Each structure stands twice: as C-alpha cells, then as structure tokens.
Amino acid sequence: MEQHQAMPTVGFVSLGCPKATVDSERILTQLRAEGYGISGSYDGADLVIVNTCGFIDAAVEESLEAIGEAVSEHGRVIVTGCLGARAELVREAHPGVLAVTGPHAYAEVMQAVHEHLPAPEHPFVSLLPPQGVKLTPHHYAYVKISEGCNHRCTFCIIPSLRGDLASRPIGEVLREAAQLVEAGVRELLIVSQDTSAYGLDLRYRPDFWHGRPLRTDIVNLAQALGELPAWVRLHYVYPYPQVDALIPLMAEGRILPYLDMPLQHGSPAVLKAMRRPAAAERVLERLARWRETCPELVIRSTFIVGFPGETEADFATLLDFLRAAELDRVGCFAYSPVAGAAANALPDPVPAEVAEDRRERFMAVQAEISRAKLARRVGERLTVLVDEVEDEQVIARSYADAPEIDGTVIVPGAWDLAPGDFIEVVVTGSGEHDLWAEPTGA
Ligand code: SF4
C-alpha cells in the first residue's frame, strides 16, 4: 500500500499476437521509465490499460470482454491496440472508458495516462532494466522490426488497422537486439507483418550501426543480428527474391535455418482471390533450391481452407502442394469472415461444415508428413535451448521449434539445468509434434 501511495501505479492487460505483446512491452517500458509502478492486479492499480486485439471476430469478443471486466472491477480504463482502431465499437459497448487509442500509438497512450494519472516528479529511472520490460520469459524476446503492411490480402484487415509498412531504422533495431542479448536473452524472435519487405518504405536508407553505415534491409539485418551471441529466428517471411540471400546465412549457421512463411494456399486461383503474392509452383522450386543450399532448413507455414470460391479441385491442388512441399510445421484454419475484410464480398462462400471437413483432411495429410520428418531425426545430435525445468523432465527446443507455436524437445529425468541454458542432446524418440532426447554423454 505504501508503494501505491509513493508511486502512481498502472494495471496492464495484454491480449493478442506477439506484435501486440511488443506494443505492450514498449508501453510498460515507457511507464516504468517515467516512474509509474506496474500492478499485476486491479487492486493495486490507479488506472488500467487494456491492450486489445481485433483481428478476428473471436478476438474482438475477447477484447470487449476484457475491457468490460476491467471497467466493472476497476472503473478507470484506457483502451489501446488493434481494437482501439475501432473506437466507436469500444465506446458503444463501454461508454465509461477514459480513452481509446489505436495500435502502436505509444505517444497517445502515454498522453492519456498523463491526463488521468500524472507521472511522479522524480521518475525512478534506475528501476528500468536496460532491455525494457519484457512479457516473454527471460531467455527469449520478440523484436518487432516494422509496423503495418503494404499488401491487401482480401481476408485481412491488418492494413486498415495498422496502416502501410513502416520500418524501424536498422540501427535502432540492432541496438535493441544487442541490449536484449546483453541482458541475458538467448533467442531473438524477429516479427513484423511482412519481414521480407523490411526497409522498403525507407527505400532501404542506410542507418548507423557500430559507426558504419548499413542499408536497412532484411539481409543486412539478418547478417548483423547473426553476429550477436544468440539464436535469431525469422517470422512472417514472404517468399520474395531477397529471401534467397538469407538461406546462405542459415547454411553458415549465422541465423537459425528456420523460416516462418505463411503461404495460405497452394492453388493459384485461390491465391489470386486472396490477393496473395507468389504462385504455388514458384514456391516449390524455391523450396527445392533452398534445401539444396541448406539441407537442415525447417519451414513453418499456415494455410486457410474453405476460402470463398475454393472448389474441391482447388482443395486437391492444395493437398498435392502440401505433399510436394513437405513442410515441417503447419497450422490450418477453416476460413471465417472477418468484419471489414474485402473477402466478405466474394461469391461462392464455402459452407462451414465443408471448410471444417477440409481442414481435418488437410491436417491428417500434414500429420503424416510431420510425423515422418520428426522420426527421421531419431539418432540426430541437436543443440537445444532449455525453456522449463521440472522435477521429472526438462522442456527444451531445438532450432526447429519456435516458442509457443511449434513442438518441443523433452529430456526426461532430473537435470541440473536452468531456463536459458543450451545443451547438446541425442534424439531418442519422436511423436507428431515433439521429440524426446537425452543429453550427450548421459
Ligand atoms: S501480408 Fe496480407 S495477411 Fe499479412 S498483414 Fe499484410 S495484408 Fe494481412
């Protein structure tokens, strides 16, 4: 209670994707820098910020519920994030909120906070850890390199929520990454809406890093990040030509040989209706070349089935693509309309039960592929990063597993290890998602 009196305190509710998490971390970091306290409960807080997600209807519901809970439990609420871009919706449901701001509107959020809860006169700047306040476990961190997106995929409303691509200068990103590594982070997860397009909006303008000019583009960024003593994992990479230049960096071990590449479909007709860049055959050719250069390359992707106009023949083309591509990790969604998306106006919607049936058939094909690929790893030696240490086992990940979305490497037994440790293991067993392993020399 004493601390509460000395320090104006903000409660924080963070919803949504890794990109929203990065927004939350930036706001929390700024609050802390200005001397505000952060509270994990409504009780200790003078004011509550809810960082929302508005990507699909279910997320809108969840966000509105979270705002409702904060309003009824606490009363003094500021709303930010993707749903904040639809302020009328928020105000209609919860007229009592103090302020509503959109995504990555850090200055506006802070302005609203200052208005409703003035900052202390002497900020406790020393309380701020140099790497900022992180919501992820200590040993890995998301680094957002740009906001927004220049594409206009018909199922997506992100550009209307977050605007066109806006890249951070390369020096700024590298300084943040270096600080994180300095503070003990062992794995950097590079996120954006469109990582391959990084720098395009800045016309790849050079920025300074360690006193030398460096072009703001994804290849230079990956190269420079690769010099840091940490794993570097790239997410949301679209198969543009510059990706070819990333693969040698993976083969040389500078960044992880892992690509998170949302492909969404394998039928050219559906990809066209989705207004996605890149046609299916080209992707297969590129995959084959990338694997020649870097045989250990692991690819994760997501797909949508049941998109308006998708015929049984399109779906069969997708399954053929899936079998030919032999991707390692795959997620699949049955299409569902998103309020405000252009795809809602497309003809020939696919009935929900047909879409769900296709999703199940898709996942059955992929399950066999994933299982077979993991089984081939038995006997392999891998470096793994420890995430959790339990009484009877250690949960770790190899280069092939991104946190939260992929599988894990389970090491049975009690080991004197801590999260963030790297260890060498030999793979002893495999399932559909996970591997089992024992430390080498055990
Ligand atoms: S690439 Fe397409 S799906 Fe991804 S954020 Fe941009 S518009 Fe949305």
Among 77-91, 129-143, 257-271, the minimum mean pLDDT is found in 129-143
Mean pLDDT taken over the chain: 89
pLDDT band at 353, cuts 50/70/90?
very high
pLDDT > 90 in the chain, percent? 61
Q: Which one of 153, 195, 237 would you pick to mutate in the ligand 1 pocket, going by the greatest count of ligand atoms within 8 A of its CB?
A: 153
**What are 188's two structure tokens?**
């950097």
What separation in Å is there between the alpha carbon of 266 and the centre of ligand 1?
Answer: 17
| Cα(235)–Cα(215) distance, integer angstroms | 20
pLDDT digits (tens, 9 = 90+) for 374-427: 999 999 999 999 999 999 999 999 999 999 899 999 999 999 999 999 999 999
How many helices (H) and strands (E) the chain has is answered by 13, 20
Say if strands 393-397 and 206-209 run parallel, antiparallel, or are unpaired.
Answer: unpaired
* Residue-wise DSSP of 129-145: -TT---SS-TTEEEEE-
- Tell me the β-bridge partners of 426: 381, 438
**Residue 15 near residue 52, CB atoms below 8 Å:** yes
Residue 428, both tokens: 């002893």
User: How far is 141 from 186, CA to CA, in rounded Å?
Assistant: 8
Among protein residues, the one with the nearest Cα to ligand 1's atom 2 is 153
Share of the chain residues as helix, strand and coil, in percent rounded to the nearest 5: 40, 20, 40
151 lines ligand 1 (CB under 6 A): yes
**Has residue 215 got a pLDDT over 80?**
yes
What's the rounded mean pLDDT across residues 34-60?
Answer: 81
Give Dmax over CA atoms of the chain in angstroms: 67
Which stretch of 103-117, 157-171, 314-328 has the lowest confidence by average pLDDT? Answer: 103-117
What integer pLDDT is reported at residue 3 of this predicted model? 35
Mean of the pLDDT values across residues 137-159? Answer: 90
Residue 140 CA to ligand 1 centre (angstroms): 25
d(Cα 236, Cα 232) in Å, to the nearest integer? 14
CA of 149, closest atom in ligand 1: 6
Confidence check: pLDDT of 284 > 70? yes
- Any residues with CB less than 8 A from the CB of 235 and at least 6 apart, and which? 18, 189, 190, 191, 192, 195, 260, 402
| Atom number, ligand 1, closest to the C-alpha of residue 264 | 3
Nearest to 235 by CA among 253, 205, 255: 255
Burial (CB count <10 Å: 0-12, 13-18, 19+), residue 210: exposed
Q: Is the CB of 277 under 6 A from ligand 1?
A: no
pLDDT over 50 at 362, yes or no: yes
Report whether residue 153 contacts ligand 1, using a CB cutoff of 6 Å: yes
* pLDDT: which is higher, 107 or 313: 313
427 lines ligand 1 (CB under 6 A): no
CB of 147 closer than 6 A to ligand 1? Answer: no
Determine the atom of ligand 1 nearest the C-alpha atom of 276: 2
Whether the CB of 163 sits within 6 Å of ligand 1:
no
